[in-house]
Structure 1
Amino acid sequence: MMAPKPIGKWEKYGKRYCRDWEKEAGLKEWIRSVPGDDTKAACRYCICEIRAHHSDLVAHSKTKKHKRHFALLSSPNVERHPYDFDTRHSLQAEKQVSFEAEQGSFDELKHTKMDESVNVCALKLAAHIACHMSIFTVDHLGCIVGGIAEKDISLHRTKCSTLIRDIIGPTVHKELLRDIGNGFYSLIIDESSDVSTQKQLCLMVRYFSNRLKCIVSSFAGIITLTASDSDLITEALLSFLNENKLNIKKCVGIAADGLSASICGHKNSLLKRFYELNPCGIFIKCICFSLHLCLSRAIDVLPLNLEYMISQTYLWFSRSTFHQKRYSELYAAINVGENALKMLQVTDTRWLSISPCINRVLSQYDVLRLHFQSVKDNEKDYSADLLCQMYSDPVNRLYLVFLQPLVQEANRISKLFLLETVNPVKLITELVMLYQTLLLRIIKPCVFPTWMSVMNYDLRSKRNYLPLLEVNLGQMFLSELANAKLSSQSAEVIQSKCRDCILELVNQIKLRLPPNVHHLESLSALNPSVVLSPLRPAFSTLSFLSLYRGDHLKLEQQWRNLDSVFWTNTEDGQIEQFWVEVAKHTDEVGDKDFVELGLFALALFTLPFSSAAVECTVSQMNMIKHKLKNRLQDSLLENILRIRAYMHRNKICCNQFQPSKEMISLFNSEFYAVANNKDAAEDYDDYEDIF
C-alpha cells in the first residue's frame, strides 16, 4: 500500500471515487472501486489500494511494478481468477492467486526468456564498472554496448549496484575464504576516515594460496567503527574473523604502522588482546613507515628552511600558470631543446616523498635561482624574495647535496619492502647494510661478525667516533663544499650538522628496527642455500620454533632429512617455489613426507614487513568514495574493493574476467525480485550530484 502523502491545502475537503475513470484510456484496463470505501481505488493487476486522486492513479499506471504486472497478467496464457471486490477477504485471496500466477510466470521466464549470454554480458559490465568507473556511467554504457552487440542489455545503476553488492562481490569473497581454508594467514590493518568522517578499519589478509601456489596479499574487508576505542576495535575484529570463519589461532602475525595506541599500545590495546588469544602471534611494525620516520627525525637536525624551500617551490608553481609559463620559457632558453619538469610535492601520505623532490630541485637548481631572482626584481612578492635568498645561499645547496644520496638509499630499501614477494635474506642484508654503512661513516673501522652484532653496537660510547674532518659525508658534498669557498668556521658548522644528521638517523634506526631484523634473521635460515648446506643450523637453534604448535619431533626429523632428496628449485631467488615443492613432495608409497615442515615455512613467509598493501587499499577507498560520491554505502564500497582485489590476485583485468557458474546461477528471477524491493534511496548509492 502506498504511504499517504502529507495533507495539502485542498485535501481537507476530501475526494471521491469517480465512475468516469473506468472509461478513461490508461485507467479503464485496471481500475476498480473498493466496496465500502469511496476514498480509494484498487488496481486489479497489482492488488493494491490507491487514494482516489486522479494524479495518484496516473502516477501508479507509470510505475515499473504496474507495467511488469500488466505485461505478465494481461497475457492470455496466464489463467486468471475471477475478481471479486465485495469484501476485503476476497481481495486478499485474489492477491495470493495473482502472486502465484506472477511467480509461475517468473519461473517460466527464467527458463525461456532470460538469455544467459545477456546475463554474462551484464556481469562483465558490472565488473568493469567496479574496476574502473563510476556506477553512474553505466546508464549510458549499457545502452551503447547493447546496441553494438545487438542484445537487449538492460543495465542501469540500480541493477549494476545490486550485481556488484549481492552477486559478484560476495562470490569472489567466498572464493578468497575457500582459498585460505584452514591454513595460516597474517593480517595487515589500518585505521582510516572516509569523506563523511566515518571511522573505518581496513583489513588485508596475507596467506599462501594453494590455487595460485604463491604468497598473496588481498583485501579482506572493511569494519565500520563508531569510535577509536580499543575494546570496540578488538570486538569488531574478532566478530569479523568469526563471521568469515577465520581462526585467530591460525593468525601468524599482525602488521600496522605502529602509530595508533588503540591498536598497538602497551596497556589496553588490540595487540594485547591478540597476544592473549594467540600467544604465538607476532606484531610487526611497517619497516617502510619506520624508515620514513627515521629519516624525518634526522632531517629535523638540519636547518628548517630546507623543507620550507622545497615545499614552497612546489606551491609557487602549482598555484599559478603564469609562473609556470614564465619558468618554462627561461628553462627552454638556457637548456635548448629541453622542457622543464614540474616541481614535486612533499607529502606525509607518501613515504620518503622528499627523495624525488630533492632530486628535482637539484637538477634545476641554477634555473630556479635565476627565476626567483627575476621575479624578485620585477614583482613585489615576499615569497619570491624569500625563495630567492634561499636559492642564492650556497649553504642550502650543500645541505641538499648531502641529503640526496642519503634519502635515495633509504627510498631504495623502502621499495624493496614494498614488493609482495622477495627473499627475506635479501631484505635483511639490505637493511643491515644500510645501518652498517651509516655507522661506519661516523665511527672508526670495526668488524661485525653477525647481523645482530651490527644492531647491538653501543652508540653511547663516543670513544670510537671519527674526528669531524674524517667523517665520510660523501665525495659530491666535499667537492661542492670546496667550490663554495666558505670560511673554515662556516664549513665546520655545516660538516658538524651533517654528521649529527647521520648520527640521528643511526639512532632512530637502532630504536625502531631491531625487532624486525630479528624476525628477518630467523626467516633467513629457510633459504635453500642454508637448509641444504652441510653447515645448516641445528634444529634446536632455530628461533622461529616457538611459533610451531605441532609435533616438534616430526618437524626435526623432516629438517634433518631435507638434504637427502633431490630438489629442483634450489636457487635463493626461488625460496617460495622451493618450500612449495617441499610441501608437495611424496615418498615411494605416496605419503607427503615433508608436508608439516613445508607448510610451516610457507606460513612464516606470510609475515608482512610492510603495511603498503593496506595503505594502497585505503587510497583506493578515498578515490572511490569522494566528495561527489559521499552517499556511497559501505556494503557497496566493500564489494567494489573485493572485485578489484580479485582481479589483482589473479593478475587479470576486467577484459579477462569470466563470471563463474555460481554468479550466473544467482542472476535469476529471485535477483530481480530482490533488486526491485530495494529501498528507493539505494538506487542512488553512487549518484554524483554534478548537475
Structure 2
Amino acid sequence: MRRYRPAWEAEPKFSGWLTSLKGDGTKAFCKLCKCTLQAHKKDLSNHASCKKHIQAFKFSQMGASNVKLTKFYEANIPKERKIAELKLAAFIAEHCSMAAVDHLGELLPSLDKTSELLCGIKLHHTKCTGLITNIISPCMLAELLHDIGDSPYSMIIDESTSIDTKKMLCMIVRYYSQTSKKLVTTFYRLLEIEGGDADSLTDAFKKQLAMDGLDIKKLIGIGVDGANVMVGEHHSFRSILKESLPHLTTVKCVSHSLHLAAEHACKVLPSHLEYIVREVHNWFSCSTKRQIEYALLHETLVGKKPLKIDKLSGTRWLARIGAITKILDQWDALELHFLLAKEKERCFTAGQLHLMLSSKPNQLYLRFLRHSLKPTTDCNRMFQADNVEPLKLLTELHGLLLNYLSILVPPERLNNVRRQDLAGFNFRDHVMNINCINLGYSFNEAAAVIDQNELRLIKERCVLFLCEISHEIQKIIPRNLNLLEIIAFFTPDSATSQVRPDVGDIVWPILKT
C-alpha cells in the first residue's frame, strides 16, 4: 500500500527541512526550527520567510559546507621538546616558585628564534604543574621505592600544621642505596592526616608504607622531635611502633632538645631579661624612622653602623645568644636611644626599656648568659652541620655536659666519675660554694660595681641556671650518648685499626630482621 504524500512535500522551497509530524499526518514539522506547523501552504510559506527560519537555514548550510573531523587530535610533539619541558619542570620544582614558569616559558623562545627546539617550547603554570604532579613525581617515587627494595631503612618524621590548618606528616627516608653505593637521605612523603594524636599518626604511617610496598619490619630507626605524642612513655607514636618492632631505635632531635634545655634553664632567671631581648628587636622591626635615627646615633658614638638585633623564635635555635651578644655590644647606644625616644615620643615601652638598660644587674645577667649559652650554641651548631664525624659529635655532646659540671663540681670529685656515669651523676650534692664558682671573666669584670648583697642574689640565680641546664642535658643525653658510642665503632679510625671493637651485638638484631 502506497504512503499518502501531502502535496506540500513536493514543493522545492519546502524540501530538506519540512516533514510530517510523527503520529499525526495532518500536521507538518520544521526540522530546522524544531516546531510544529499547520499543514497549509500559506502557513508554511509564512514560516519559510520568517527571520528565525531564515537564520536557522543559513546555519544549516554553513554546517553542511564544513569538513567533518575524522580525528579530534593528533599528537605531533617531538621527543626533544618533551625532554626539554620535563627538565624545565624539574628545575622549577627544585629551585623556583611555580609563578616564575610563566615568564620563563615566554622568554626561552625569544633567546634564539632560529632554534626549532626553543621556539617549540610551550610551558606555563598549568602545564608545568601537570608535568610535576602526574609525570615527574610518580616516576621519582617509583625509582625511590625500587632503590630501597628490601633493604633496611630509617625514617625522619615530623608532624606540623599548615597555614590552612591542615595536619601534615612529613617523612624523610634514609637507607643504603645499592645503586649509588652510599647512604641516601631524601624526601619520601608529605601526608595529610586526620588528627595529631598518636593513633592517627601511626595509622597513617603504617598505611602509607603498606601502600608503597615497604616492609615495616625493615624499619630499624626513627628520628623525631621531643614531643610527648612522638616519644612519650605511654601511648605515643614510638611506643605503638615498639609493640610490633621491638628492635626499633628512636633518636630524638638533639638540636631541638638542646634548645629546649636552654629555654627551660632561662626560666630561673628574671623574666624581664627575655622582655629586653624581645622588645628591643620589636622596637626597630616595624619602623624605618627608628632604624635610621638609631643608625645615626650609633655611628656618631661608635663610628660604624649597628648590627640588626636578632628575633627570638621557637624554631631559630641559635638566635638567642646572637641577640644577647648584639645588645651587649650596643648597650650604651641603645640606652641613650631609648632615653631620647622616651622624652620625644612619650612612649611607655621606650621608658621601660631605658629603665632596664640603665640597670647594672640586667647587664650582668646578660653577660652571664652570653658566656654560659655559648657551649650549648656551639654544640647545637655542630649537630646542624651537614658533614660531621659521628665520633666528633660524641665528643661534643659529652664535652657539653662536662663543661657545665666542671664549673659546679670540685675537680677532684668530678675526676672520680666515669664518662658513662655522668648522665646519672647526682651533681647537686657536690655543688661548690657560690664564691668558688667562676661565672666567666666578663661577669667578674662587670660585678665590681654591684652591691655585694645584690651580687650574691645574682650569683645564686646564675648557679641555679647552671644546675638546671646540666640537669636538662642529663635527661636528653643517655640514649643519644649510647647511640653515638655505637656509631663511633664504624668510624674509619676504628675500622682500620688493628684492634677492632666487637660489633656483633649491633649487627645481629639487624640481620634477624
Normalised-by-shorter TM-score class: 0.7 to 0.9
- In the alignment, which residue of structure 1 is the partner of 2:384? 418
Instruction: Report what 1:549 is aligned to.
Output: 511
**Offset of 1:185 from its aligned partner?**
1.4
Match of 1:116 in 2: 79
The change in CA–CA distance for 1:164 and 1:375 in structure 2 (over 3 A counts) is: same
Q: Distance in 1 between matches of 2:82 and 2:496?
A: 54
> Aligned residue for 2:21?
none
Amino acid at match of 1:358: I
**Between Structure 1 and Structure 2, how many residues are aligned?**
458
- Relative to structure 1, the CA distance from residue 411 to residue 347 in structure 2 (aligned partners, 3 Å threshold; closer, same or farther) is same
Residue number in structure 2 paired with 1:322: 289
Q: 1:145 to 1:15 in 2, by over 3 A?
A: farther
- Greater RCO, 1 or 2 (C-alpha within 8 Å, sep 6+): 1
Q: Which residue of 2 aligns with 1:455?
A: 423
Shift of 1:442: 0.5
Equivalent of 1:527 in 491, 505, 509 = 491
Following superposition, the deviation at residue 173 of structure 1 comes to 2.0
Change (3 A) 1:148 1:496: same
Task: Give runs of aligned pairs for residues 284-323 of structure 1, distance below 5 A.
Answer: 284-323=251-290
Q: For each residue in 1:501-540, what CA deviation from the matched residue of structure 2 results, as whole angstroms up to 9, or x when unmatched?
A: 1011001111222111111112222233334444444456
Pick the aligned partner of 2:323 from 329, 354, 357.
Answer: 357
In 1, Cα distance between equivalents of 2:58 and 2:456: 103
- Structure 1 residues 402 and 526: alpha-carbon distance in aligned structure 2, compared to 1, 3 A threshold: same
Q: Is the 8 A contact 1:138 1:156 kept in 2?
A: yes
Which string of whole-angstrom CA distances, capped at 9 and with x for unpartnered residues, describes residues 279-304 of structure 1? Answer: 11111111111101110011111111
Q: Does 1:161 align with 2:129?
A: yes
> What amino acid maps onto 2:493 in structure 1?
S
**C-alpha displacement at 1:260, in angstroms?**
4.2
1:322–1:15 distance in 2 versus 1, CA, 3 Å: farther
Q: Which amino acid aligns with 2:55?
A: D
Identity %: 32
Secondary structure of 2:186's partner?
Answer: strand
| SS across alignment from 2:427 | coil
Aligned to 1:201, what secondary structure does the other structure show?
strand
Q: For 2:149 and 2:112, how far apart are their aligned partners in 1?
A: 40
Q: Please say if 1:371 is aligned against 2:333.
A: no
**Contact 2:265 2:465 (C-alpha < 8 Å) held by counterparts:** yes
Contact 1:204 1:219 in 2 (8 A): yes
- How far residue 546 of structure 1 moved from its aligned partner, in angstroms, is 5.7
Deviation at 1:214, TM superposition (A): 3.1
Q: Deviations over 1:307-339 (max 9, x none)?
A: 110000011001211111110110111122x22
- For residues 441-590 of structure 1, the aligned pairs below 5 Å read 441-445=407-411, 446-447=414-415, 450-460=418-428, 462=429, 464-482=430-448, 485-538=449-502, 542=505, 544-545=506-507, 547-550=509-512
Question: CA shift at 1:256, angstroms?
Answer: 0.9
1:344 aligns with 2:310: yes
3-state SS of 1:252 partner: strand
Who is 1:131 aligned against? 94
Supply the distance in 1 between the matched residues of 2:141 and 2:62 (Cα, whole angstroms).
Answer: 47
The equivalent of 1:431 in structure 2 is 397
Distance 2:121 2:501 in 1: 64
In 1, distance between residues paired with 2:176 and 2:62?
63
**8 A Cα contact 1:125 1:142, kept in partner:** no
Contact in 1 for aligned 2:405/2:427 (Cα 8 Å): no
- Over 3 Å counting, the alpha-carbon distance change for 1:546 and 1:389 in structure 2 is farther
The one-character-per-residue Cα deviations of 1:63-97 (angstroms, maximum 9, x if unpaired) are xxxxxxxxxx3xxxxxxxxxxxxxxxxxxxxxxxx
2:15 — aligned with what? none
Give the partner amino acid of 2:326.
R
Partners of 2:312 and 2:220 lie apart in 1 by 35
Alignment match of 2:371 (pick from 396, 400, 405): 405
Whether 1:140 aligns to 2:175 is: no
C-alpha contact 1:252 1:282 (8 A) present in aligned 2:
yes
The Cα of 1:44 is off from its aligned counterpart by: 8.6
Displacement after TM superposition at 1:21 (Å): 4.7
Structure 1 15/146 Cα, relative in aligned 2: closer, same or farther at 3 Å? farther
| 2:205 equivalent to 1:243 | no
Q: Of the two, which has the highest radius of gyration?
A: 2
Q: CA deviation at 1:340?
A: 1.7
Aligned pair partner of 2:221 in 250, 253, 277: 253
User: How large is the Cα RMSD of the aligned pairs?
Assistant: 2.5
Q: Deviations over 1:224-246 (max 9, x none)?
A: 11222322221211111122222
Pairing 1:51-200 to 2, within 5 Å after superposition: 73=69, 98=70, 101-102=71-72, 106=74, 109=75, 113-150=76-113, 151-200=119-168
Paired letter, 2:489 = A
Alignment correspondent of 1:670: none
Distance 1:28 1:441, change over 3 A: farther
Maintained 8 Å contact 1:525/1:531: yes
> Does the CA-based 8 Å contact 2:409-2:427 persist in structure 1?
no
Cα displacement (A) at 1:206:
1.5
Aligned AA (1:486): I
- The aligned counterpart of 1:684 is none
Q: For residues 466-520 of structure 1, give each alpha carbon's deviation from its aligned partner in whole angstroms, at most 9, with x where no partner exists.
A: 11111121122111212xx111111111111111110110011112221111111
> Runs of 4+ in structure 1 displaced over 6 angstroms?
14-17
- Where does residue 62 of structure 1 map in the other structure? none
For 1:539-688, what aligned pairs fall within 5 Å after superposition? 542=505, 544-545=506-507, 547-550=509-512
Q: d(CA) in 2 for partners of 1:320 and 1:177? A: 51
- For 1:407, the aligned partner's letter is L
- Label 1:532 to 1:144 Cα distance change in 2 as closer, same or farther (>3 A): closer
Change (3 A) 1:480 1:144: same
1:647-676 Cα shifts (integer Å, max 9, x gaps): xxxxxxxxxxxxxxxxxxxxxxxxxxxxxx
Tell me how far 1:405 sits from its aligned partner: 2.6
Aligned partners of 1:297, 1:272: CA distance in 2, in Å? 26
Structure 1 residues 321 and 265, CA gap change in structure 2 (3 angstroms): same
Q: CA deviation at 1:355?
A: 1.7
Note closer, same or farther for the CA distance 1:243–1:28 as it changes in structure 2 (3 Å cut).
Answer: farther
Question: Which residue identity does 1:130 align to in structure 2?
Answer: A
1:29/1:250 CA distance change after superposition, 3 Å: farther
Using the TM superposition, give the Cα deviation of residue 545 of structure 1 relative to its aligned residue in structure 2, in angstroms.
4.8
1:380–1:216: structure 2 CA closer, same or farther, 3 Å change rule?
same
Amino acid corresponding to residue 510 of structure 2 in structure 1: Y
SS class of match (2:156): strand
Question: Where in structure 2 are there 5+ consecutive unaligned residues?
Answer: 1-32, 36-51, 114-118
Quick one: which of 389, 393, 397 aligns to 2:359?
Answer: 393
Report what 1:627 is aligned to: none
SS of the residue corresponding to residue 154 of structure 1 reads coil
1:207-231 C-alpha deviation (Å, 9 max, x unpaired): 2233444333211011111222322
Distance (whole Å) between structure 1 residues aligned to residue 472 and residue 394 of structure 2: 17
